[in-house]
Chain A
Amino acid sequence: MMIIETEHAPILSMEKLTMSYSGTPVLKGVNLEVESGQVIGYIGPNGAGKSTTVRILLGLQQGYGGTARLFGENIKTSGIAYKRRIGYVPETAEVYDMLTAREYLVFTGGCYGLDAVKAEKKGQQLMNQFGLANVFDTRLSSFSKGMRQKVLIIASLLHNPDLLFFDEPLSGLDANSVLVFKEILAKLAETGKTVFYSSHIMDVVEKISDRIVLLYDGQIAADGSFEELNAQNKEGSLEDLFNQLTGFHQHAQIAEDFVSLVEEV
């Protein structure tokens, strides 16, 4: 087995990260250090600040407080070169969908400095692996959600990045593809890549993550491996844990009220 030397400096670090939108605080001092070769499950209820964190790290969000470092450099001052080592699958699945898969992959590859021929070849091979060989020259606008998601995943990996941000990457994928993708994540982490994985599907996060970070109300509410978190809280699944940490217990009551409202016409 090949042993990969892991850098001692954290690949990603956030210190007292704060952010507010027109006076409303969204992040209230987030501290986090991540070393390479980990799959981080980044979870939290809607509006907890997950996307904001990722947006800051990708340079999409200005005007935050605190420091964010990637690969040891402060991203406020380091320029844009660090983005070359990042792959990103956005939650909104935004693509230029009047392009064909081939064109889109060549385009994203090119944005990361990849030569067109190389990007095309690699893109085609990866598409084949995902069973999309026959739609390589079809416009993305006619793709199903799952197919589009696969193209986004491929586009995020073309340039062999060291750090990956996956925001709900499984949405729309069929069960077989999910199986393949989970395996891919594990392998990517084995080769020393770091995966920052946000999702709301708790059983997947539970299975694939080396470490789980739970963001609640702009702060980190829990941080550790699933076993560690479980030991502290004596709860069954990550879902239960999630409910407990975010102080949510009334799901049965809400469901009951909801259905009774549906029945009233």
Chain B
Amino acid sequence: MKESRFLKITDLMRPVFEKLGVNYAVMRHVLAVKLLMDARRMPIVLASGRQKKKKDSNLFLKSLWVYALVGLFVVPFIFLSSDYLFKTSLIFAIILFMVMTAMIADFSSVLLDTRDQAILWTKPIDARTLHAAKTVHLCIYLILLTGALGLPAAIAGLMRFGLGFFLLFLLNLIFIDLISLSCTTFVYLLVLKFFDGERLKDIINYVQIFLSLAVAVGYQFVIRAFDVTATHITLTPAWWQLFVPPLWLASTIEWVIGGQRTAFLSLLALLGLLMPFILFSIYQRFSNAFEQAVIKLTVQAGKSRTQSGKLNHLLGKLLCRNLEERTFFRFSSLMMKQDRTFKLKVYPSLGMALVFPFIFLINNFHGSSWHQIGQGSGFFYAYFSLLVIPTALMMLRCSSTFKGAWIYGAAPIKQRHSIFSGALKATITQLYLPAYFLLSVVFLLLFRWTIIPDLIAILLTASIFTIICSHYCLGESFPFSEPFDAQPSTGNFTVLFLFLIAGLFAAAHAIVRAVLPGYSVFIYIACLLVAHVIVWKTGLRGKD
């Protein structure tokens, strides 16, 4: 077996693991296999001949480039003319936000992996060792991720403020990993403890949405903690700041290098030094309980709730032209609703799509009344709902039961594009529409009925955008025909590129409204409508 380089590093930490009661030899063994598997992709069941042969490569490592790019955007904060506290708070907040998002969307499936159970639990491996293997596996990725995000800023800091800053910064990056790992695990542990059976599987996904919301909202607290005036940026102490991790971490840097040593700041700095260890030791304490609880997810017990499929039935009738398309529409809707891993990867972006519009709305209209907001053009933030589409489509080709894809080959399907159009329509109705309607209702209350045409334009855009995305995200693969591997749902150039395209649509809409006020929106809608018909007619023709 080709051994991963990471194992050499964990070997150095062997005494630490042994002190924690972990059977190091066994842990290393499990870890070696996990890393080996990450580096391999399973061959695709169908259409494998057409695909170029892929070499052993870790997809996660490739996505690090995207994170490094984001890391570059953070660099200017280092050169802000303020104290250490403000700039590092901002940087740590951004990094923590990215890490938590990745943790929730990409690594939850590692944390809650149940495939392991049948293979590993039947062997003489104790829960603590198993959990340690999982933790180290995740930590390797988290450290690489924070490294990619933080290193550009750290190096800029090294040149500007010297070695002390650099080392403290790196230490804090590791603290960020510890904090995000233990916090996410706690939340899951609570859910695993209190719920059972099918309920549990549903709740886990809602928790993910909730977590992504919490992270996005929590991020706001960092900025609110500071009073920004033209000349000064100062921290105005308040009790709630004791619960904002980026402030703890930034305070340690300020305390050590910056020289501000007020009582409140010292308290924050102390928290920054202690909390990562406290959280992580609690995490360690509960490792056994966590692994036991994860087994609950494997139990196929109790009746699954009967789906009220009536609405779906109706939508299928309305949206699909023939039986074939309708069949795949219903099939795809069910797969999306019931594949736990799929939901684990896609639902966090749903949370983002819902919360971003409001965050921007509130940030931009700082201090103005609801009435003033209602007069503005803040409803453009509804375009953020489009974020769901590329993320969902990136995952559409994957399924935890991808081997069932033989049906596409075995069944006498007349028009293969109806597989795709059915699946795409299902994506829109199952994932996009709920977010869109929720946003629409709130925005209609805020901005009144005058924005109805604009909302219609957004809906049409979403539909066009779906076809565009499917071109880049799905390619030739059938829906649900590939395994989920270490493929990250975030941090992907394709998704970033598609976000840009969504931005162009929003810009076009805004320009039309600004240049030709009045009825121009209706002309825009008409154009979209024509484009919509053309795109759906021709966009999927290549799939036959």
Query: Does A108 contact B123, Cβ atoms closer than 8 Å?
Result: yes
A103 x B36 contact (CB < 8 A): yes
**Contact status B292-A94, CB under 8 Å:** no
Complexed CA–CA distance, A107 and B33 (Å): 7
- B124 touches which of A22, A80, A97 (Cβ 8 Å): A80
The proximity string for B residues 277-301 relative to A, scoring 1 for CB distances below 8 Å and 0 otherwise, is 0000000000000001001001101
Within 8 A of A (CB), among B264-319: 292, 295, 298-299, 301-302
**A255 → B minimal CB distance (Å):** 26
Nearest Cβ on chain B to A227's Cβ, whole angstroms: 33
Q: List A contacts of B299 (CB < 8 A).
A: 21, 61
Contact A141 B125 (CB under 8 A): no
Contact, CB under 8 Å: A95 / B119: yes
Residue of B at shortest CB range from A165? B122
Alpha-carbon distance A103/B37, docked complex (angstroms)? 11
Contact between B118 and A92 (Cβ–Cβ < 8 Å)?
yes
* Interface pair A103/B1, CB less than 8 Å apart: yes
Q: A21-B299, A62-B292 are in contact. Are A111 and B121 (CB under 8 A)?
A: no
List CB contacts (< 8 Å) of A131-149 with chain B: 139, 141-142
Taking the complex as formed, is A32 at the interface, i.e. its CB lies under 8 A from any CB of chain B?
A: no
Interface range on chain A (Cβ under 8 Å from partner): 35 or more
Check if A84 is an interface residue, CB within 8 A of chain B.
Answer: yes
Q: Are A112 and B117 in contact (CB under 8 A)?
A: no
CB distance from B56 to the nearest CB of A (A): 10
A83 at the interface (CB under 8 A from B): yes
Residue A29 at the chain B interface, CB threshold 8 Å: no
Take A24-B301, A24-B302 as given contacts and tell me if A83 and B122 are in contact as well, using a CB distance cutoff of 8 Å: yes
Smallest beta-carbon distance A58→chain B, Å: 5
Is the pair B196, A22 in contact by a Cβ cutoff of 8 Å? yes
What is the chain A residue whose CB lies nearest that of B28? A110
Select one of A22, A24, A61, A139 contacting B295, CB under 8 A.
Answer: A61
Whose C-beta in chain A lies nearest to the C-beta of B301?
A21
Evaluate contact between B124 and A103: CB separation under 8 angstroms: no
Contacts A21-B302, A62-B292, A106-B1; A96 near B119 (Cβ below 8 A): yes
Contact B125 A80 (CB under 8 A): yes
Q: Which residues of A contact B301 (CB under 8 A)?
A: 21-22, 24
Residue on B nearest A111 in the bound complex, by CB:
B123
Task: Find chain B residues with CB under 8 A from A98 CB.
Answer: 37, 40-42
For residues 34 through 50 of chain B, which have their beta carbon under 8 Å from a beta carbon of chain A? 36-37, 40-43
Which residues of B from 179 to 224 have beta carbons under 8 Å from A? 196-197
Q: Is B43 touching A99 in the complex (CB atoms < 8 A)? A: no
State A22–B198 Cα separation when bound (angstroms): 10
Q: Is A65 an interface residue (CB 8 A)?
A: no
Q: Which A residues are CB-close (under 8 A) to B43?
A: 139, 141-142
Cβ B118 vs Cβ A90 within 8 A = yes
Whether a CB of chain A sits under 8 angstroms from the CB of B115 is yes
Contact across chains for B197 and A22 when beta carbons are under 8 A apart: yes
Q: Does B352 contact A (CB under 8 A)?
A: no
Q: Are the CB atoms of B120 and A62 closer together than 8 Å? A: no
A59 at the interface (CB under 8 A from B): yes
Task: Flag if A99 contacts B36 (CB, 8 Å).
Answer: yes
Chain A residues in 8 Å Cβ range of B41 = 98
**Cα–Cα, bound, A216→B122 (Å):** 25
Q: Does B26 contact A (CB under 8 A)?
A: yes
- Find out whether the CB atom of A111 lies under 8 angstroms from the CB atom of B26: yes
Q: Is A175 an interface residue (CB 8 A)?
A: no
Given contacts A22-B196, A94-B118, A103-B36, contact A141 B123 (CB under 8 A): no
A60 is an interface residue with CB less than 8 A from chain B: yes
A11→B95 CA distance, assembly (Å): 55
**Residue among A24, A95, A107 facing the most chain B CB atoms (10 A cut-off):** A107
Q: What are the residues of chain B within 8 A of A113 when measuring CB–CB?
A: 26, 124
Task: Check B37 against A60 for contact (C-beta < 8 Å).
Answer: no
Specify which chain B residues have a CB less than 8 angstroms from the CB of A247 in the assembled complex.
none
- Please indicate the chain B residues that have their CB under 8 angstroms from the CB of A107 in the complex: 29, 33
Contact B119 A83 (CB under 8 A): no
A84 CA / B299 CA spacing, docked (Å): 24
Give every chain A residue within 8 A of B196 (Cβ-Cβ): 22
A261 lies within 8 A of chain B by Cβ: no
Hey, which chain A residues are within 8 Å of B428, CB to CB? none
B126 at interface, CB cutoff 8 A: yes
Chain B interface residues toward A at CB < 8 A: 1, 26, 29-30, 33, 36-37, 40-43, 115, 117-126, 196-197, 292, 295, 298-299, 301-302
Subset of 15 A-B contacts with CB under 8 Å: A21-B301, A22-B197, A24-B301, A58-B122, A61-B299, A62-B292, A81-B124, A95-B119, A98-B40, A103-B36, A106-B1, A111-B123, A112-B124, A113-B26, A142-B43
Given contacts A58-B122, A82-B124, A113-B26, 18 further A-B contacts (CB under 8 A): A21-B299, A21-B301, A22-B197, A60-B117, A61-B299, A62-B295, A83-B125, A84-B124, A95-B119, A98-B40, A98-B41, A106-B1, A107-B29, A111-B29, A111-B123, A112-B123, A139-B40, A142-B43
Q: Report, nearest first, the 5 A-B pairs whose CB atoms are least far apart.
A: A21-B301, A111-B123, A83-B124, A22-B302, A110-B29
